[in-house]
Structure 1
Amino acid sequence: MGPVLIFVFVAVAVVFGIYWTYKQKQKRRAGLATFATQYQLQYSQTDPYGLLRGSAFHLFREGDGQGIENVLSGTWQGVPVREADYWYYTESTDSKGNRTKSYHYFSVCLAEMGATMPYVGVSKENMFTRLADHVGLRDIDFESDQFNREFNVKSPDREFAFKLIDARMIQWLLTTGGTFGFELDGTTLLVYCKRRKPAELVPLMGTAKAFHDHVPKLVWTEYGQGANATTAAAAPPPPAPPAPAAPPAPTQPS
């Protein structure tokens, strides 16, 4: 194959890749818009809330660059929520100095809790979390050996972690099978998992609602906001996003 044919082949492949990525983005946006209509949520292709700005969530600080798009907002079974596509990338350089980016994609749901709480992170236990225990904040162990084997819990406030993750919460978390990760900080709960199709987002939203419902009454009493604390009432719904503008040109693959 001559150099001209190679160039043409590469050019066609690049153009096809760009077109395929564009069509996939359009298909996902259409699916999310349909999901939003079906569940009486609002949809924005961009992030009108600045969800990454000043966030203390560890997931939102992963990698060398991050981004959020396709934001759903509204109320899910009485709890104010915002669901979005989140991604981050890591950069690496090979022996020849060539730089590459590796992307990681998630579906995330942020739920307003109606209480101001210390940071707690709950994720599936694995080799990397065990290694992290030796170089950072150590995992907190609970009375359930099964739970300790399956989950990694971190918090600078161990006393609060024990209040939050009581026997009832432990039993419920075990039923999730480690499919979802959780971070709680201030008034917001973050629930995340690998990127899901629009039609598969109900379990993610439902898991955020279920975590909210399994927070012990003691926590609502001690950390809740105002008279609604004992009933776990959520904060006011997030403001409606501004009128949708023309979407920016894609800057990363989906």
Structure 2
Amino acid sequence: MQGGTVLVILLAVLVGGGLFYLNYIAAKRRRELFAGFAAQQGWAYLPSDNTLAGQWSGTPFQAGDNRQVRNVLSGAFNGHQMVAFDYSYQTHSTDSHGRRTTTTHKFGVVVVQLPGALPHLEVTHEGIFGGAVANAFGFRDIQFESEQFNRAFRVKADDERFGHAVVTPRMMELLLARGEIGWRIEGNSLVGWDKGAHHPTEIMSRLALLQQIVEQVPPYVWRDYAGVDPRLRQPPLGPGYP
């Protein structure tokens, strides 16, 4: 019996050590992938920078604990300052038998600096139940003339008038065609995110989408809400753009 117990312990140690090694190799290869990609694009690369976890609010930030920012890319993308990174946090639960489970939630995040600070606006997918159920529970979002868009997306804004000014028919057309990530205007940042680890090709695609979103914002919105002319050179980098 004792021999069997020792064998089980040895097997557990071997399996645990093997998993640790595989995770180490995978993380090392990912660092090398992103470092090489950053060099190709002329961007800066940092293996980690957990201070970025506190730069923005809302999804996927400010949830759980053990928040980590890895594989940070920063630089210029088509005239826009950007930062992209792997983000993760952990949540914990305990079942009826007292067994504790830790879940790691992973996201790919891309952020583009805006020409000026704008009011808060968030656009996400409706999810599996759609807007009708959410609205019934009081989680109301802004409604637009396009029912197809209303069924596909939730739009939340502190200022509903601002929400309608930004989400124009052309913006809706863009998002219906390729609105694959959630995004949020937060001050002078346009934050985009999706669940899971992203690949360099996805980063480029998502940055291109964020650039299109910025370009779809009408000029009068920049003048009236931010007091800037988006055609002029962007201001110096603010917090969150290393």
So what's the TM-score if we normalise by structure 1?
A: 0.85
Q: Which amino acid aligns with 2:182?
A: G
**Aligned residue for 1:223?**
225
Give the whole-Å Cα distance in 2 for the aligned partners of 1:65 and 1:232: 40
Q: Which has the higher contact order (CA 8 A, sep 6+)?
A: 1
Instruction: For structure 1, list consecutive stretches of 5 or more residues without a partner in the other structure.
Output: 242-254
Instruction: For structure 2, list consecutive stretches of 5 or more residues without a partner in the other structure.
Output: none
Give the whole-Å Cα distance in 2 for the aligned partners of 1:136 and 1:20: 45
- Relative to structure 1, the CA distance from residue 163 to residue 74 in structure 2 (aligned partners, 3 Å threshold; closer, same or farther) is same
Give the whole-Å Cα distance in 1 for the aligned partners of 2:13 and 2:45: 35
**Aligned residue for 1:106?**
107
Q: Which amino acid aligns with 1:231?
A: R
**Aligned residue for 2:82?**
81
Which shifted more, 57-66 or 126-135?
126-135
Q: Which amino acid aligns with 2:159?
A: D
Deviations 1:58-80 (A, max 9, x none): 32123345321211111100000
SS at 1:231 equivalent: coil
SS at 2:48 equivalent: coil
Which shifted more, 210-219 or 69-78?
210-219
**Aligned residue for 1:69?**
70
Give the whole-Å Cα distance in 2 for the aligned partners of 1:225 and 1:82: 24
Q: Is the 8 A contact 1:147 1:170 kept in 2?
A: yes
Deviations 1:93-122 (A, max 9, x none): 011212111112111111110121111110
- Relative to structure 1, the CA distance from residue 136 to residue 70 in structure 2 (aligned partners, 3 Å threshold; closer, same or farther) is farther
So what's the TM-score if we normalise by structure 2?
A: 0.89
- Relative to structure 1, the CA distance from residue 62 to residue 119 in structure 2 (aligned partners, 3 Å threshold; closer, same or farther) is same
**Aligned residue for 2:93?**
92
Displacement of 1:161: 0.4
Identical-residue share of aligned pairs (%): 32
Q: Is the 8 A contact 2:43 2:74 kept in 1?
A: yes
- Relative to structure 1, the CA distance from residue 169 to residue 232 in structure 2 (aligned partners, 3 Å threshold; closer, same or farther) is farther
Deviations 1:9-66 (A, max 9, x none): 1100000111111111100000000110111110001117x22225333321233453
Q: Which amino acid aligns with 1:188?
A: S
Give the whole-Å Cα distance in 2 for the aligned partners of 1:190 and 1:128: 25
**Aligned residue for 2:19?**
17
Counterpart selection for 1:154 from 153, 156, 179? 156
**Aligned residue for 1:187?**
188
Q: Is the 8 A contact 1:45 1:70 kept in 2?
A: yes
1:128-143 equivalent positions in 2, closer than 5 A: 130=131, 132-135=134-137, 137-143=139-145
